[in-house]
Amino acid sequence: MSNIAPFTCNVSDETLADLQRRLDATRWTDQLDGAGWDYGTERGFLQELCRYWREDFDWRKSEARFNAHPQFMTEINGENVHFYHARSPEPDAVPLIITHGYPGSVAEFLDIIGPLSDPASHGGDPKDAFHVVAPSIPGYGFSGPTRNKGFNIAAGGAVNVKLMEMLGYDRYFAQGGDWGSAISTNVATRVPDRVIGLHLNLIVGFPADPADPFAGLTEREKEEQAWKEEYNKHESAYQAIQGTKPQSLAYGLNDSPAGLAGWIVEKFKTWSDCGDDVTRSFTKDQLLENVMLYWITGTINSAMRMYYESMGPGRMSVSFEKCTVPTGYAHFPREIRPTPRVWADQIYTNIVRWTEMPAGGHFAAFEQPVSFVEELRTFARDFR
């Protein structure tokens, strides 16, 4: 534990003043009449969000939210690792490591750390308590930019395993969505004897018979695959760019706060259950808290690099190794990567819970914290 140091977020006044100047000096692009969000982030929405950022957003209030739970910094395998570690007051609490994805951050978990670690103080049953560990993936947010080539999903899994070792946890739950799903799955396949249960809100898989991929699918699952195919035609440009030439894009995003917000917020709109209005799923403060983690740490380049290292040409690191750990999946209806159960069974051979959630999308913990927490608690009860 000697190389684990307490961490507090404390952004300098100079950094905030520089942000203000850059927002004031934004050079807005043109927009065609009637374009809406068809070409990307709608200019009027982004202008209003940036006005709110300049005039109404209180970073010091948000900073206090980030500092409300114990957080730490360490170094693992040559990379800085920031993490929350909220130990529960309950004597029978079980460890849980929960991992975010892109373009999210630990900001997604600010409203669930308390209910998960101290359910009694949040109207829950003390028997459902977890010791919560929530790392910032190296290259994201407070962990800062990665230092070495090749930091991919497998490297993220190795970091999480080592982190739990350093904290003295030899048996724990793992949870994740987006990159967090792949990283948590890597943990489960890397050290299956240590992972009590794996819970995901994004799950992958493949057809048992590629020649007949729709065999065994329900009508709803067939419709979801048709939707996903259409989605990929219109919404996958970011993945192609970030998987091949992320640095070229990063210069602009790292230099312009408006550009950074435009790139990130569009995904929160498209990937959430917001009915075409992102502020139905997230407040402006929530959107900006997440964007701020990328801005103040200068990590948009290293965050996007995860695509290059994990999914770029010749570098596919998503593991299709069989996962035997008891697995639960929460299917939020607006998840952008819906996977049929029979496809998921090809990788996850011990799925013990598959829940159709009533509302929510890709950023499940951020968007639906109450139902997310209850679903995770329910899954874990059978394994405590």
Cα 116 to Cα 108: distance, rounded to the nearest angstrom: 14
Q: Are 124 and 115 in contact (CB under 8 A)?
A: yes
From 294, 307, 308, 329, active-site residue: 307
Residue 82 annotated to the active site: no
The token pair at 87 is: 């130990």
Question: Omega before 103 cis (within 30°)?
Answer: yes
Residue 178 annotated to the active site: yes
From 118, 128, 178, 273, active-site residue: 178
Phi first, then psi, for residue 83 (nearest 5°) are -155, 150
Cα 228 to Cα 239: distance, rounded to the nearest angstrom: 15
One-letter identity of residue 177: G
Cα 262 to Cα 355: distance, rounded to the nearest angstrom: 33
Cα 197 to Cα 168: distance, rounded to the nearest angstrom: 18
Contacts of 263-270 spanning 24+ positions with Cβ under 8 A = 263/41, 263/103, 263/238, 263/300, 264/103, 264/290, 264/291, 264/294, 265/41, 265/46, 265/49, 265/291, 266/37, 266/40, 266/41, 267/103, 267/238, 268/103, 268/363, 269/37, 269/41, 270/235, 270/336
Query: Of 206, 201, 153, nearest to 319 (Cα)?
Result: 153
Cα 112 to Cα 373: distance, rounded to the nearest angstrom: 7
163: number of Cβ within 10 Å: 21
Residue 362 annotated to the active site: yes
Q: Which residues are known to be catalytic?
A: 178, 307, 362
